[in-house]
């Protein structure tokens, strides 16, 4: 794979970084990333990945754009109301960088279809607001040794997880084996718009670091961002002995 002159110019500000370089940019171009959920997290995540030169991106979401999405789902405009999120996201990204191949999937992930949707991707990004879907994605990625980069947002806080399942590490189920009484769901709880942007951008940061094989400090950890206290802390997730079928085998 080669980079042409236009690509070199487009990405020169990242190529001049020693940790990226031309070989890193080729890795970015080759990477295949799946984004599940084209909401407040998916919008900035997709934008940064496409702008950075990730050429193969799948986006999954079965929702249409509603007025109440527009405070944080920054790829969408008033004129997009009622249209499918994945279709409009693709239209906007193509305007930013036409070369990116985007596969759109208007579908809800289930036990039956998860393999067909996830199998072609090395890195899976979860930004869904549904606990059962999170567990389903976690279990598939763990069993198939994919890298899972998840984010969740609620009110003024955000959580970020990274699991490179090629290594022996805990999983999301170890951290949260059962549905919390209060689900992290911005539809019910509310969300401060920039928190979505910050967490989606942090997710993009981890995706690019994974592609480039850069230092992997977040692997097996949770990062907690508190936008009121302006606090970021990281803590290690422990393998849960009750995570029987998934982590203990």
> Interface with Zn ion by CB under 5 A: which range of 102-110, 149-157, 168-176, 216-224?
168-176
Q: Whose Cβ is closer to Zn ion: residue 100's or residue 160's? A: 160
DSSP secondary structure of 55-121: -EEEEE--PBP-GGGTTT-TT--GGGTTSBHHHHHHHHHHHH-TT-EEEEE-----TTTHHHHHTT-
Based on the shown chain and the rule CB under 5 A, indicate whether residue 169 belongs to the binding site for Zn ion. Answer: no
Residues with Cβ within 8 Å of 238's Cβ and at least 6 positions away in sequence, in order, are 170, 174
DSSP 239: P
How distant, in Å, are the alpha carbons of 61, 82, 221 from that of 203? 18, 27, 13
Q: Which residue, 74, 68, 81, is CA-closest to 41? A: 74
Residues with Cβ within 8 Å of 71's Cβ and at least 6 positions away in sequence, in order, are 193
> Interface with Zn ion by CB under 5 A: which range of 4-12, 164-172, 194-202, 205-213?
164-172
Q: How far is the CB of 31 from Zn ion (least distance, A)?
A: 26
Reduced to 3 states (helix: H, G, I; strand: E, B; else coil), residue 45 is helix
Options 57, 123, 196, 243; binder of Zn ion; rule CB under 5 A: 243
* Beta strands 123-126; 147-154: pairing state: parallel
Q: Whose Cβ is closer to Zn ion: residue 153's or residue 174's? A: 174
Q: How far is the CB of 174 from Zn ion (least distance, A)?
A: 3
Options 29, 72, 134, 173; binder of Zn ion; rule CB under 5 A: 173
> Interface with Zn ion by CB under 5 A: which range of 101-109, 172-180, 204-212, 218-226?
172-180
> Interface with Zn ion by CB under 5 A: which range of 10-18, 39-47, 72-80, 237-245?
237-245
First and final C-alpha spacing in the chain = 40
Based on the shown chain and the rule CB under 5 A, indicate whether residue 246 belongs to the binding site for Zn ion. Answer: yes
Q: How far is the CB of 220 from Zn ion (least distance, A)?
A: 10
Helix (H) or strand (E) holding 147: strand 147-154
DSSP 39: S
Options 59, 149, 174, 218; binder of Zn ion; rule CB under 5 A: 174
Residues in 52-81 that interact with Zn ion by CB under 5 A: none
Based on the shown chain and the rule CB under 5 A, indicate whether residue 171 belongs to the binding site for Zn ion. Answer: yes
Q: Whose Cβ is closer to Zn ion: residue 3's or residue 136's? A: 136
Question: Would you tell me which residues interact with Zn ion (CB under 5 A)?
Answer: 171, 173-174, 243, 246-247
């Amino acid at each position: 794979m080669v980079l042409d002159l236009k690509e070199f110019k487009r990405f020169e500000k990242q190529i001049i970084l020693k940790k990226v370089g031309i070989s890193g940019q080729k890795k970015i171009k080759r990477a295949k990333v799946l984004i599940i959920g084209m909401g407040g997290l998916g919008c900035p995540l997709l934008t940064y990945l496409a702008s950075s030169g990730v050429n193969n991106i799948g986006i999954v979401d079965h929702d249409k754009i509603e007025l109440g999405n527009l405070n944080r789902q920054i790829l969408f405009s008033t004129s997009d109301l009622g249209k499918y999120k994945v279709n409009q996201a693709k239209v906007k990204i193509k305007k930013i960088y036409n070369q990116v191949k985007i596969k759109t999937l208007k579908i809800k992930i289930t036990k039956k279809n998860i393999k067909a949707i996830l199998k072609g991707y090395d890195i899976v990004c979860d930004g869904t607001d549904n606990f059962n879907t999170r567990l389903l994605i976690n279990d598939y990625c763990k069993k198939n040794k994919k890298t899972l980069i998840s984010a969740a947002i609620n009110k003024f806080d955000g959580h970020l997880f990274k699991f490179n399942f090629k290594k022996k590490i805990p999983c999301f189920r170890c951290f949260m084996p059962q549905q919390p009484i209060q689900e992290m769901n911005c539809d019910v709880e509310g969300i401060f718009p920039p928190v979505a942007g910050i967490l989606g951008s942090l997710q993009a940061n981890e995706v690019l670091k994974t592609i480039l094989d850069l230092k992997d400090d977040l692997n097996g950890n949770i990062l907690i961002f508190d936008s009121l206290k302006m606090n970021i802390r990281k803590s290690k997730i422990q393998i849960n002995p009750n995570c029987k079928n998934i982590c203990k085998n």
